[in-house]
Amino acid sequence: MPLPRTASLPDVKRRKSQFRPDSSPGFQIAPMIDVVFVIMLYFMVMAGSVRKEVAHTTQLPGPPTPEMETPDEISIRVAGDGQVTLNDDPLDTADSTTLPELAAQLRQIKATDVSRSGLLVTIDASESVPYQRVVDVLDALSQADIHNVTFQTGASE
């Protein structure tokens, strides 16, 4: 019985020459699946640390109901020269940085607030007023323990 023939050296060289290193192996799906699983794992882990949004109760403005008290509104205007007026009454001088008259008036208004619904203060400052003057007014409001403050922009009505 003859022995099986083994591949000779020229046959091996011929097979190696058929392999082309520049040929594309095609689209490999396995690495893509691995990447998708890693991303999915990341989002699953991060989903546990996401805070749930809670609803905020908001009351829209409308006609006041009998049980709803409207706050007293105070208007403070700061002119371009630094003069401060409280409800159109000039207080302090334009040079005063502590605004003692304004702070005293605000404390008196706060003490006589019988409705206890709070005071709504609107600051209307001229465009040419230095920021420090507005900060002085805010300091006076802080001394009077008034925290409900809004700013009016644009032309006053």
110 located within any domain:
yes
112 located within any domain:
yes
pLDDT at 69: 55
pLDDT at 6: 58
41-64: pLDDT as tens digits = 999 988 887 777 766 666 666 666
97 located within any domain:
yes
Domain holding 131: CATH number? 3.30.420.270
130 located within any domain:
yes
Contact, 145 vs 119, CB < 8 A?
A: no
What is the mean pLDDT of the segment spanning 114-140?
84
137 located within any domain:
yes
What percent of the chain stands above pLDDT 70? Answer: 66
Q: Which two tokens stand for residue 149?
A: 């403050």
- 97 Cβ contact partners less than 8 Å away, ≥ 6 residues apart: 132, 136
Q: Which two tokens stand for residue 19?
A: 């392999």
**Which residue segment(s) compose the domain that 133 sits in?**
72-152
58 located within any domain:
no
85-101: pLDDT as tens digits = 998 888 888 888 888 89
Contact, 69 vs 59, CB < 8 A?
A: no
pTM: 0.53
pLDDT at 34: 94
Number of domains in the chain: 1
pLDDT for residue 72 is more than 80: no
Q: Which two tokens stand for residue 89?
A: 């009454």
138 located within any domain:
yes
3-state secondary structure of 41: helix
pLDDT at 4: 58
